[in-house]
């Protein structure tokens, strides 16, 4: 009805109006960057709103209130802070009728190879107490990438920022 009422002489009418609140929605957007050889996709990261599972890009109907956006972490990927309508920690408050969107990006991380060159005095292949690290040795990396580095004063060496591969 359009809200119009026609009254005759001496007539009385009662009108009733019902208002229904509009359910707020929260949409989580997941982005995945695979620039270091990673192969995971958006679907590999479970998303939730205060423990309720949701799908990236799908509007989830919730009651008005405070919520926390969350995700399942995956080894080898670093998550950005939440952005959009969420605070950096994923917290967000929705009022009746609001539609908010929060976004997070996971980026695959480069690999590292670390080790120590030491004097294996007892010849067992295991570094024991009293077996010193060896400084100044050149360690060569071969495989998907090639590189060389020199051991430090404690015999330690590192190859950082490597792509996924065989070394």
Please check the confidence at residue 2 and state whether its pLDDT lies above 90: no
The pTM for the full model equals: 0.72
Cβ-contact 132, 58 below 8 angstroms: no
In this structure, the strands spanning 156-162 and 111-116 are antiparallel
What's the DSSP call for residue 145?
S
pLDDT digits (tens, 9 = 90+) for 73-123: 999 999 999 999 999 999 999 999 999 999 999 999 999 999 999 999 999
Q: What is the maximal distance between C-alpha atoms in the chain?
A: 114
What's the DSSP call for residue 22?
P
pLDDT digits (tens, 9 = 90+) for 124-146: 999 999 999 999 999 999 998 89
> How far from chain centre, in Å, is Cα 88?
11
Q: What is the mean pLDDT of the chain?
A: 95
């Amino acid at each position: 009805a359009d809200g119009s009422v026609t009254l005759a002489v001496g007539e009385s009418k009662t009108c009733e109006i019902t208002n229904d609140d509009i359910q707020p929605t929260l949409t989580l957007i997941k982005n995945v960057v695979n620039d270091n050889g990673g192969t995971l996709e958006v679907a590999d990261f479970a998303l939730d709103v205060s423990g309720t599972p949701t799908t990236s890009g799908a509007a989830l109907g919730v009651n008005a209130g405070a919520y926390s956006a969350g995700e399942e972490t995956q080894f080898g990927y670093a998550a950005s802070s939440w952005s959009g309508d969420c605070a950096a920690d994923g917290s967000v408050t929705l009022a009746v009728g609001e539609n908010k969107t929060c976004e997070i990006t996971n980026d695959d991380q480069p690999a590292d190879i670390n080790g120590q060159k030491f004097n294996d005095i007892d010849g067992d292949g295991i570094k024991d107490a009293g077996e010193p690290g060896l400084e100044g040795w050149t360690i060569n990396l071969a495989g998907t990438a090639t590189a060389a580095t020199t051991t430090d004063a404690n015999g330690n060496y590192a190859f950082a920022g490597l792509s996924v591969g065989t070394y």
